[in-house]
Amino acid sequence: MQAITENLIEWPVAEYKFDGQQTKEDIEYLVNCWDTIANRRETFVFITKIDSFKPEISHVKPLAKWALANMDLLKKYCRGNSIVSGRAMAAQLLLNSFLILAPLPYPTKIFGTDEEARAWAKSRLVNP
């Protein structure tokens, strides 16, 4: 089973769900998804749903490397990332570890419900 899934049905909302033990292939899939979004050169927001995220440092590094390499595009087109997690403390620790490797040029907030996260993300498209 794939541990990371992408949903672009509500574009410009790019939604990702992390559920289960991620593999190297899952991380490669995510980087390819992000490449596709970056190549669109359109304004967007992320919604990141964390049901279960069990990162290894070997997984976080390629994601941070991608973010650093694409910082100009993220700064220009990404309006924010709302993270949905029932475990806010775990999500905050994950976010902090990522931000140490790659400080992001857009706001990121953690929410307890999908509705709150979606409302905030969509508001960022209107009022960045």
* Residue ranges of domains in the chain: 4-126
Neighbour tally for 75: CB within 10 Å: 11
**Measuring CA to CA, which residue among 106, 29, 17 is closest to residue 53?**
17
Q: Which pLDDT score, from 0 to 100, does residue 72 have?
A: 95
Instruction: Identify the pLDDT of residue 11.
Output: 94
**Separation in Å, CA 82 to CA 48, 72, 113:** 6, 20, 10
61 and 31 Cβ atoms separated by less than 8 Å: no
One pLDDT digit (tens) per residue for the chain, 128 residues: 788 899 999 999 999 998 878 888 999 999 999 999 999 999 999 998 887 666 677 787 888 899 989 999 999 999 999 988 876 566 566 666 666 666 788 998 888 899 999 999 999 998 76
d(CA 31, CA 104) in angstroms, rounded, equals 16
Tokens representing residue 41 in the block: 């050169």
Indicate the pTM of the whole model. Answer: 0.85
Buried b (16+ CB within 10 A) or exposed e, 39-53: eeeeebbbbbbbeeb
What is the per-residue pLDDT for 70? 94
Q: Does 1.10.260 match the CATH number of domain 4-126? A: no
